[in-house]
Amino acid sequence: MLITAMIGLRVPTARLPAERTTAAADTAHSSSIGSRAMRAADVAAGAIADVDVAVAVLDRVTGDVVGNGQAMGPMFSASLAKVVVAVDMLDRRRSAALPLSENDVELIRRALGPSDDSAMNDLWTRFDRMGAVGRVATRLGLTDTAAPIEPDIWGWMTTTASDATRLLAYVAEMPPPDADVIIGALAQAPPVAADGFAQDFGLQAPGIRDVTAAKQGWMRWPTDTAHLHSAGFVGADRRFVVAVLGRHTFPDPDWQTLRRSVTMAATAAVGVLRGRIGSPGAGHLAVPNVHLPGVVAHLH
């Protein structure tokens, strides 16, 4: 996906205090498992300077969504946009008899798991582009998710960590045939994406247990800004949805630093949530050494 025009979307880079992101969460006890996971992730991300990391955690049992001070700040979605289009297509097939061939469904799987941009380009072009964003945002109440200002560049869709958790929580509640398409593809995501980018960071980093499926995203735009996102389910019952959205701005963005920050935040959040799902070593917040394979600047 080539970016050929400059856009003026810039968000302040100062880190803000952790805060809850919804009225429902305002009534939640400050020591809830989701709050503890979010704060652990925020602390872990804050250990690395000059990187913006938005963190949100949604508990599908209580409905609480908690996030740090960046959680409602818009960022380019990069490949998280692919989940929006997949949801729209499958919902319309179910509710409006949208005809989808087996090849169309396979394109959804390719766009999600291997994060194949060519598959997404095809789907975006043939299945209503910007219209998909508006329908999903309205139906799910994603108040901070917006269509890209350039209709042909789906990665310029903007979203927030908070909205990303709501989107995936909706996926978990879709009828099994539709949920299985999306979650199944994400669960089988390979360590290296279709374009050669190493997507084993964040919730898909080696050694992180109890993450059942996650969508990764990466993008460099404007030229001095790198974006790296990871959003997915924790626990066999998918009770928790975690979103970690990262951004690093410098004359020459440091992908390794950004990967490390996003992975440390994801590892810390999952470490707390594992206390709820009963895995060995639950609650341990030490961040392990993270394998960081070589990456190159990329638009995705």
pTM assigned to the model: 0.84
Kindly report the CA angle at 15 between 14 and 19, in degrees rounded to 5?
135
Domains in the chain with CATH codes: 19-277 (3.40.710.10)
pLDDT, position 129 = 93
Residue 114: cis peptide before it, omega within 30 degrees of 0: no
Spatial separation of the C-alpha atoms in residues 184 and 197, rounded to whole Å: 21
Tell me the per-residue pLDDT of 218-249, one tens digit each, with 9 for 90 and over. Answer: 999 988 999 999 999 999 899 999 999 999 98
Of 11-15, 84-88, 170-174, 216-220, the range with the lowest mean pLDDT is: 11-15
> Residue 153 class from Cβ within 10 Å (0-12 exposed, 13-18 middle, 19+ buried)?
buried
Tell me the per-residue pLDDT of 261-291, one tens digit each, with 9 for 90 and over. Answer: 999 999 999 999 987 764 433 333 332 222 2
